[in-house]
Structure 1
Amino acid sequence: MVKCTLTNPPSHRHCDALVMEKAVASFSLFLTRLPVIWAVIFSFSVAVNATTDPNDVQGLQVLYTSLNNPWQLTGWRSSGGDPCGELWKGVICQGSSVVSLQISGLGLSGTMGYLLNNLVSLTTFDLSGNNIHDSIPYQLPPNLTSLNLARNNISGNLPYSLSSMTSLDYLNVSRNFLSQGVGDMFANHSALANFRVQNNKLTGSLNVLVGLPLIDLNVANNNFSGWIPQELSSLTDFVYDGNAFANGPAPPPPPYTPPPPGRSSNNRTPQSGHTPESNVSVSNAQNGHKKNALPTGSILGLVIGSLFAMMLLLLALVFCLRKGSKKEITARTSVGSLPGSDKVNAEMQEHRAKPTATVSDLKPTAMGSMAVERLQGKNGSVKRVQSPITATSFTVAILQTATNSFSQENLIGEGSLGRVYRAEFPNGKIMAIKKIDSAALSLQEEDNFLEAISNMSRLRHPNIVGLVGYCAEHGQRLLVHDFIGNGSLHDTLHYADERSKMLTWNARVRVALGTARALEYLHEVCLPSVVHRNLKSANILLDDEFNPHLSDCGLASLTPNTERQVSSDQMIGSFGYSAPEFALSGIYTVKSDVYSFGVVMLELLTGRKPLDVFSSRVRSEQSLVRWATPQLHDIDALAKMVDPILNGMYPAKSLSRFADIIALCVQPEPEFRPPMSEVVQALVRLMQRAVIVKRQPSEDSGFAFRNPDHEAGDLL
């Protein structure tokens, strides 16, 4: 073949033929390899542009299963999948991150799950117009700017995690069944312009919303009370009818009150340092009503006179402070010369050095009003306690009237700290009053009473009994709680009546789940962790729908005086829930709470008391944990342990998984017990897949087990 080169050039026609021949061969080879090339390009494109962040995938999967795997969410899966690449319905992504989730008006039911906080890039979340029930999860997407949960069946209260979601601009939870107060959770918000909570059962005052940059506010048809703040009245879009607001204008604020920290001042409120008169003058000037200006000489005279008056006041203040300091030094010298004064001074120094908060603060710190209280101790000492308290202070006279002087007919319970009374207030509100026995607290614990109140008042969770108020006067110590009207889990389980029959298997799992969520909040959301220390079925109260509400949260700092006499039933009942490490060393941690929770689950499963020494049971069956633990993995023995009131109405798979969770919680070694977040996840999966199957008697074991695996699936 002749090459087409410069040194040996053939004819042009021959070179053109050679070039064409090579081009055709190359193109043919390209066509044969085209499918492979396209496959590589497509796979590379998917890998670069469509792979979703694994945390986002997991958060959406849990949401999907919590919504009962709805067919309306096309493309969604309970496992695997690529939300961004596969275009899951309502999911909008930027790169590999889910930034918007809009699934409103689809008729979705179920709950929102427990892993929404995985969606850290999510800014818009719209789940409105569905049939979502239960409460709002307290672990929400942390960086939301728009949250719309309107027109559902959501109950409980607003989660305190909203306090850290400071980017929120739009919040709509209207037309649900939310209750309790708004609290101080919006104290640090500087962007919230649209806030709609109409048609709920929210209570309290609107003062907590003053200072927010609100444009659109709708609080209609709730149970708000007090006065409408003037700052809110001036909003262009403000709807407030259907509440119990007081008539007449709101009381004026104290003069020269600065605006709350961290809040914007675009609510048409007077700026700090402006007197009411100056604001009126500005307003009149803007309306064309000008006033005569003062001469320059008069202004100069006023300024000089004001400066002179301020100097006199400063001199007087310095004189008073120096005089007071001399008196304090004299008093200390006098005390130091008394017999035993060294011991008194040492005790005072020790008290100053001791940390005061056994119960934790929450994160972020609540912006409560600083309350200064004077408490008179048993020894006549007076202590000043300064701490933020969001609960209401009641007088003894008011609480006496509400309880008919703490009459016997209003007594509804008794614990290690004192008795609990039903209270009815003039407005018809029913509360529960815990009257702490004066002999129950040591002197040191009595002095820390208000500090404990401050911490307890900031615990907010739909499965925790809320602290409404307190009383600390005339030597009395009382706590005012929400009234939960269906009694305790202990009474429902162990005093057979109609309520016991209503506690179905699914209701028992729901009680376990709600209690686990309350403990998860105390252990893993509060910072530092809050240890309950007294978890038992008597402290789990049930409402009319058998939802659990954990009581006595935060009372660990008010440990009862060991010298106080308590009934043998109370001592034995509490001992049955105690973890082994507490019985041996007195050490109590969050893992000890997990053990106590496992005992409560055993009560729910068997209907037996944790320690039943007064019954006719044989000695080997009197300790519930010791008797039940060896049988938790034996399916035949497990079936015979189930509370007979259930009459065989439970799914075998659900029962087995329930027992597995119990076995993990009541392990003797605390380090092997799971954290409550894992317990919550296991119970959520169990609750979602529970299927009731009627057990039929058989000749062999008393029960013929039908395994509903095709219905229930793997529960753990």
Structure 2
Amino acid sequence: MLSSFTFLKTLDLSGNNIHDALPYQLPPNLTSLNLANNNLSGNLPYSISLMYNLNYMNLSRNLLSQNMGDIFNNLTSLTTLDLSYNNLTGDLPNSLSSLSSISTFHVQNNQLTGSLNSLASLPLNDVNVANNRFSGWIPKELLSVPTFTYDGNSFDNGPAPPPPPYTSPPPGKAHNNRTRSPPSHTHDVPSSDTSDGKKLSTGAILGISLGAAFVILFAVLVLIFCLQKRKRTENVRRTSTVNSPVIGEKEMQEQRVIPTASITDLKPLPTENNSSFERAKSGSIKRVKSPITTSSYTVAALQTATNSFSQDNIIGEGSLGRVYKADFSNGKVMAVKKIDNAALSLQEEDYFVEAVSNMSRLRHPNIVPLAGYCAEHGQRLLVYDYIANGSLQDLLHFADDSSKTLTWNARVKVALGTARALEYLHEVCLPSVVHRNLKSANILLDEELNPHLSDCGLAALTPNTEREVATQLVGSFGYSAPEFALSGIYTVKSDVYSFGVVMLELLTGRKPLDSSRARSEQSLVRWATPQLHDIDSLANMVDPALNGMYPAKSLSRFADIIALCVQPEPEFRPPMSEVVQALVRLMQRASVVKRRSSDDSGFIYKTPDHEAYEMSY
């Protein structure tokens, strides 16, 4: 991931036709970021708020969507911000007013709404907000900007905001500013000394009085009619009850049910009882395909556990929202994904509970289980078990402690567990579940270095059409299969390709895309694929952190599996069941040179005595 380039100052990947999502972890020390003229999708990541030294950012002419987000508070050095020609929506965030050094601001050709008030106090020289959906009054400060382009919006006439309520407008300004005169405390009729005025006022009053009397009379007649009808109905019911005790008892039962139904219409059904119904946005009750088999949380409970969704509790960020660490009063620690409503269409919101139902039934030892959810007060949140040992990405690329380098057997073990998770999703679940975002950051490791694949089933909340997929997150830099980059098509075989990239990470210790390397080595797949069947080249590709502690035959078989998974043609990639079988055989034959005896940790500085063993998977 790009976030690993800690010391990178300038990043320019513009005009490369990259069909991927904008990374959610960008290098924090950048001073210049140029990713213009690509096909980047997703939204602006929160990590931008931590790029304190950034003075130039150009993300124009991409497929970025959703709200911009309040991420600009700390960017006091930023002089140029270009987000033009994207699909950004929502109002301009208030944090834009913190850009104390900004001179160029371009957001033309998006779908932004609201006012330009957050730009009023900025030292701008060049502003372009054309072809959006802005409205309201143009702040007078912006009219003095040397270059200010604002056509193609719905601004009100005039350069200044209207005067405060009940304040007379300046002379000659009322028409241009669309201001209104203060409300009059007298009626708009001729004065009392005009006889025609008196007649008009009296007639109006008489008409109103007669109309009100008619309405009251009509309401009384309707009420009498309804009371008489109810009385007749009750008489018939008493007669039926006397003549037929069975029927009478049944009707009494129905009467007891009616109040319960009416209460249900006013109050959402309790999800704790695994109800198969859920309230739609229209207020009606709709049936979902299957019952929910996971716990329901309230917004208040999750807010308390995450310290009101504090930034200090953020542990990750994905295509649908941020992930927070949640500490509950009973001592339990969970991970809460707060879904950004702007990331979901209306249809997807309606199917949220159905998606939760499907995700709650995914049960596999190598998949992070969905522990609960919340669909209350317009909020949508997912609660997962908290995996404390971090992600595979962290251990491979960000571990400060060199002693935590994974051993060869630990790496094969991670590959096998992840392959088993994908085998379950692809070949056990009916219909098949496509992950769509397989990467090392989504493979979490427990204390025994067992892998747990996260975000399983979330693809159900992303659009399925080719046009919409191009604007949403499907994979990350370096993980996407060629067929997706070319056409937006994503299948289980695309997951297989992404898994092959993860295996390459395990083999080489390199990141899928690394612009700090020579151009021929920036793309891990392009650099590594031609060398996978060359023994000498393969030995030079291995992660130097392994210090040569790996069996040559195991390495060769591992490379053979990678070569199959990353083939350009999806039809030639193996199903995950075959990948699992190949990795099981590899584990059974694995052996390494014993370096020093210790316990059974998977870190290289503690190479265990039993490294050569048959895994009972």
TM-score (norm 1): 0.45
1:559-574 correspondence to structure 2 within 5 Å? 559=462, 574=476
Task: Please say if 1:310 is aligned against 2:246.
Answer: yes
Q: Which residue of 2 aligns with 1:626?
A: 526
Q: Which residue of 1 aligns with 2:508?
A: 606
Q: 1:596 to 1:500 in 2, by over 3 A?
A: farther
The answer to whether the Cα contact below 8 Å between 1:581 and 1:587 also exists between their aligned partners in 2 is yes
> Greater CA deviation, 575-584 or 646-655?
575-584
Q: Which residue of 2 aligns with 1:665?
A: 565
Q: How big is each residue's C-alpha offset from its partner over 1:158-181, in whole Å with a ceiling of 9 and x where there is no partner?
A: xxxxxxxxxxxxxxxxxxxxxxxx
The answer to whether the Cα contact below 8 Å between 1:440 and 1:564 also exists between their aligned partners in 2 is no
Q: 1:452 to 1:500 in 2, by over 3 A?
A: farther
1:442-461 correspondence to structure 2 within 5 Å? 442-461=345-364
The answer to whether the Cα contact below 8 Å between 2:305 and 2:328 also exists between their aligned partners in 1 is yes
Q: Distance in 2 between matches of 1:453 and 1:509?
A: 32
**Partner of residue 398 from structure 2, selected from 479, 495, 498:** 495
Give the counterpart letter for 1:675 in structure 2. P
Q: 1:647 to 1:671 in 2, by over 3 A?
A: same
Q: How big is each residue's C-alpha offset from its partner over 1:85-125, in whole Å with a ceiling of 9 and x where there is no partner?
A: xxxxxxxxxxxxxxxxxxxxxxxxxxxxxxxxxxxxxxxxx
Give the counterpart letter for 1:429 in structure 2. K
Give the counterpart letter for 2:392 in structure 1. L
Report deviation, 1:565: 13
Report deviation, 1:306: 10
Give the counterpart letter for 1:640 in structure 2. N
Q: Distance in 2 between matches of 1:622 and 1:385?
A: 50
SS in 1 for 2:452: strand
Q: Which residue of 1 aligns with 2:308?
A: 405
Q: How big is each residue's C-alpha offset from its partner over 1:267-287, in whole Å with a ceiling of 9 and x where there is no partner?
A: xxxxxxxxxxxxxxxxxxxxx
SS in 2 for 1:574: coil
The answer to whether the Cα contact below 8 Å between 1:691 and 1:712 also exists between their aligned partners in 2 is yes
Q: Which residue of 1 aligns with 2:544?
A: 644
Report deviation, 1:580: 1.3
SS in 2 for 1:399: helix
Q: Which residue of 1 aligns with 2:110?
A: none
Q: Which residue of 1 aligns with 2:574?
A: 674
The answer to whether the Cα contact below 8 Å between 2:590 and 2:613 also exists between their aligned partners in 1 is yes
1:150-549 correspondence to structure 2 within 5 Å? 308-312=244-248, 369-376=274-281, 384-386=286-288, 387-498=290-401, 501-549=404-452
The answer to whether the Cα contact below 8 Å between 2:360 and 2:369 also exists between their aligned partners in 1 is yes
Q: Which residue of 2 aligns with 1:589?
A: 491
The answer to whether the Cα contact below 8 Å between 1:418 and 1:434 also exists between their aligned partners in 2 is yes
Identity between Structure 1 and Structure 2 (%): 77
Q: How big is each residue's C-alpha offset from its partner over 1:309-357, in whole Å with a ceiling of 9 and x where there is no partner?
A: 4313656899999xxxxxxxxxxxxxxxxxxxxxxxxxxxxxxxxxxxx
Report deviation, 1:404: 0.8
The answer to whether the Cα contact below 8 Å between 2:241 and 2:247 also exists between their aligned partners in 1 is no
Q: Which residue of 2 aligns with 1:152?
A: none
Q: Which residue of 2 aligns with 1:57?
A: none
Report deviation, 1:409: 1.6
Q: 1:315 to 1:537 in 2, by over 3 A?
A: same
Q: Which residue of 1 aligns with 2:586?
A: 686
Q: Distance in 1 between matches of 2:340 and 2:507?
A: 35
Q: Distance in 1 between matches of 2:510 and 2:463?
A: 27
The answer to whether the Cα contact below 8 Å between 1:500 and 1:645 also exists between their aligned partners in 2 is no
Q: How big is each residue's C-alpha offset from its partner over 1:253-294, in whole Å with a ceiling of 9 and x where there is no partner?
A: xxxxxxxxxxxxxxxxxxxxxxxxxxxxxxxxxxxxxxxxxx
Q: 1:312 to 1:500 in 2, by over 3 A?
A: farther
SS in 2 for 1:388: coil
Q: Which residue of 2 aligns with 1:226?
A: none
SS in 1 for 2:342: coil
RMSD of the TM alignment (CA)?
A: 3.3
SS in 1 for 2:293: coil
The answer to whether the Cα contact below 8 Å between 2:360 and 2:370 also exists between their aligned partners in 1 is yes
* Structure having greater relative contact order (Cα 8 Å, sep ≥ 6): 2
TM-score (norm 2): 0.52
Q: 1:564 to 1:657 in 2, by over 3 A?
A: closer
The answer to whether the Cα contact below 8 Å between 1:385 and 1:451 also exists between their aligned partners in 2 is no
Report deviation, 1:661: 0.3
SS in 1 for 2:433: coil
Give the gaps of 5 or more residues in structure 2.
Answer: 1-239, 258-272, 596-611
SS in 1 for 2:388: coil
Give the counterpart letter for 2:279 in structure 1. R
Report deviation, 1:456: 0.4
Q: Distance in 1 between matches of 2:483 and 2:311?
A: 39
Q: Which residue of 2 aligns with 1:17?
A: none
Report deviation, 1:531: 1.1
Give the counterpart letter for 2:521 in structure 1. E
Q: Distance in 1 between matches of 2:285 and 2:516?
A: 52
The answer to whether the Cα contact below 8 Å between 2:373 and 2:381 also exists between their aligned partners in 1 is yes
SS in 1 for 2:276: strand
Q: 1:432 to 1:499 in 2, by over 3 A?
A: farther
1:97-108 correspondence to structure 2 within 5 Å? none
Q: 1:519 to 1:476 in 2, by over 3 A?
A: same
Give the counterpart letter for 2:487 in structure 1. S
The answer to whether the Cα contact below 8 Å between 1:492 and 1:499 also exists between their aligned partners in 2 is no
Q: Which residue of 2 aligns with 1:271?
A: none
Report deviation, 1:564: 12
Q: How big is each residue's C-alpha offset from its partner over 1:668-706, in whole Å with a ceiling of 9 and x where there is no partner?
A: 1111111111111111111122111389xxxxxxxxxxx
Q: Distance in 2 between matches of 1:511 and 1:374?
A: 41
Give the counterpart letter for 1:310 in structure 2. V
Q: 1:508 to 1:318 in 2, by over 3 A?
A: closer
Report deviation, 1:385: 3.9
Give the gaps of 5 or more residues in structure 1.
Answer: 1-303, 322-367, 696-710
Q: Distance in 1 between matches of 2:242 and 2:583?
A: 70
Q: How big is each residue's C-alpha offset from its partner over 1:448-481, in whole Å with a ceiling of 9 and x where there is no partner?
A: 1000000000010000000110000011000010
Q: Which residue of 1 aligns with 2:51?
A: none
Q: Distance in 1 between matches of 2:373 and 2:390?
A: 22
The answer to whether the Cα contact below 8 Å between 2:405 and 2:545 also exists between their aligned partners in 1 is no
Q: 1:666 to 1:311 in 2, by over 3 A?
A: same
Q: 1:547 to 1:624 in 2, by over 3 A?
A: same
The answer to whether the Cα contact below 8 Å between 1:594 and 1:673 also exists between their aligned partners in 2 is yes
Q: 1:712 to 1:491 in 2, by over 3 A?
A: closer
SS in 2 for 1:553: coil
The answer to whether the Cα contact below 8 Å between 2:396 and 2:405 also exists between their aligned partners in 1 is no
The answer to whether the Cα contact below 8 Å between 2:395 and 2:404 also exists between their aligned partners in 1 is no
Q: 1:544 to 1:634 in 2, by over 3 A?
A: same
